[in-house]
Structure 1
Amino acid sequence: MLLLTPALLLLVLGLVWFVVRYQRGQLHQQQELAQLQEAAQQQALAAALVAQEDERQRIAAELHDGVGTILALAKLHLYAPGSPPAPEASALIDQAVAEVRRISRNLQPATLQQLGLAQALRALVQAVPPEHGPEVRLEQSGTLGRLIPSHELMVYRIAQELLANGLLHAEARHILLKVTASPGLLVLTYSDDGHGFDLATLEEMPPPGPHGQAVGMGLINLRSRVAVLGGQLSYHSQPGGGTRVEATLPVTLLGPAASPNTSLTFAL
């Protein structure tokens, strides 16, 4: 028995070591699998967003070159020789042309490509008519230089989504969009004095319905774009207490040798 006891003890210790080592290996494999799944999801999300932007550009081009040209020709025919002038029809066509141009600009913001994110955000805020909605202000802290095209476009879409959700649902009198820039990091903060919402209800996703679906889709779009940039998104709101949304986004400055018109790609 005295001889068997050390042997049994060594056997038990060996079994314990083997079980611990096996469990650690299993845990390591599970962590690697989770990382691979997360990377695959990020790549799929980035590919979907790239495809979405490609479709936006295609539609914008068709609106500008197709519908816009047809409307311009229709206006010329209104004033063809021998035809009586039709000021009401002409005004309607002018309105349609302006609307097509507005939609085309929203789908493919030329200001963003040509002048950069700071000017594009300023144009986005200025496009809100003050007589038909809340007062919208833009504040900028720090120097916001040119970013690589994919990051500029993604930040612009996040700001566009925040502003659109506020204009549609907040019923606010004042909206503030603030951009705080530092090397390698950009913080985009949206705040309003609207009726707010219940965060717990929003996290559970609203029930089917026109209002609920719009809010839920806006949240999904925001989370998707922030996730592609590897950023963080936080909400602060309560019924009757307004809303504050903060997106902290790692961004990459445009190198001196790069061109702002580089094709859209996402680096994961």
Structure 2
Amino acid sequence: MTNFLPLLLLTPTLLLLVLGLVWFVVRYQRGQLRQQQELAQMQETAQQQALAAALVAQEDERQRIAAELHDGVGTILALAKLHLYAPGRPASPEASDLIDQAVAEVRRISRNLQPATLQQLGLAQALRALTQAVPTENGPEVRLEQEGALNRLIPPHELMVYRIAQELLTNGLMHAEARHIVLRVTTVPGLLTLTYSDDGQGFNVSALEELPPPGPHGQPVGMGLINLRSRVAVLGGQLHYHSEPGMGTRVEAVLPVTLLPAGSATSTFSLNS
């Protein structure tokens, strides 16, 4: 009996040591997991900030180009038309028509680069102008629908939502080969949903998995879907695709948005007025 006494005395000590070691390992693993989660959060935040900075720089460049088109190229074309009709020089109606077409095209590009309607009247009117700009004689029928009041948003959110709608519509016009396109805007407090749908040729949604994730660097021409994902990511939203070859396409962008404070320009516009 006396031989087992030291062993009995050591057993609680060994048990405490084992429990202490287990507690230390568990605490260490939890600390490592917490550090990994914090690092992942920091990386995600840094990526979001880089995306936002890249899109802000892109908008600044759009404004610069729009101003140069309006003030530079537009002025040159106007002077060219004055010289065309200078005294003693025979008029050329064909040349005049070409200059008028060039002026109209410069103005159109300038408006697309820097949507004045969005700044002056808000998102609702800008979306209506965007859809009405599609030519009906040789393009699909484009319809705009609204569910819920669309009040004024803070300017960065208005611009981002407008660019997302513009990207959705541009992609559809370029690739869908559709006869009908519907852009639907649904709003609830703090949330705006843009739903694009068409009856075009559709595509294989699984091909989207091969696209690289949104990044802060500029994308090559033809990467509209990546630009779309980047803009939605900056707003912290979600993007859902529903499409099959020959069955049309539906794209849903769910976007957290912030209204302008009370007392600001908070007029409510109807998209169908």
Assess same fold via TM > 0.5. Answer: yes
Displacement of 1:256? 3.3
Larger RCO (CA under 8 A, 6+ residues apart): 2
2:245 to 217, 239, 244: 239
Q: TM-score, normalised by structure 2?
A: 0.90
The residue type paired with residue 6 of structure 1 is: P
Displacement of 1:226? 0.6
The residue type paired with residue 138 of structure 1 is: L
The residue type paired with residue 237 of structure 2 is: G
- Structure 2 distance, partners of 1:135, 1:40, is 41
Correspondences of 1:1-268 after superposition (within 5 Å): 1-205=7-211, 217-258=223-264
The residue type paired with residue 108 of structure 2 is: R
RMSD: 1.4
For 1:181, what is the secondary structure of its paired residue?
Answer: strand
Displacement of 1:202? 2.4
- Structure 1 distance, partners of 2:221, 2:104, is 26
- Structure 2 distance, partners of 1:73, 1:257, is 45
Displacement of 1:257? 4.7
Instruction: State how many pairs are aligned.
Output: 253
Q: 2:142, 2:180 within 8 Å by CA — same for their partners in 1?
A: yes
- Structure 2 distance, partners of 1:142, 1:2, is 76
1:177-234 superposed Cα distances (whole Å, 9 cap, x missing partner): 000112111100000000100011122139xxxxxx755x111111111111111110
Larger radius of gyration: 2
Counterparts in 2 of 1:70 and 1:214: CA distance versus 1, 3 Å: closer
Could you tell me which runs of 5 or more consecutive residues in structure 1 were left unpaired when the two chains were aligned. 207-212, 261-268
- Structure 1 distance, partners of 2:260, 2:8, is 75
Give the 4+ runs in structure 1 shifted more than 4 A: 257-260
Q: TM-score, normalised by structure 1?
A: 0.92
Could you tell me which runs of 5 or more consecutive residues in structure 2 were left unpaired when the two chains were aligned. 1-6, 213-219, 267-273
Displacement of 1:258? 4.5
The residue type paired with residue 68 of structure 1 is: G
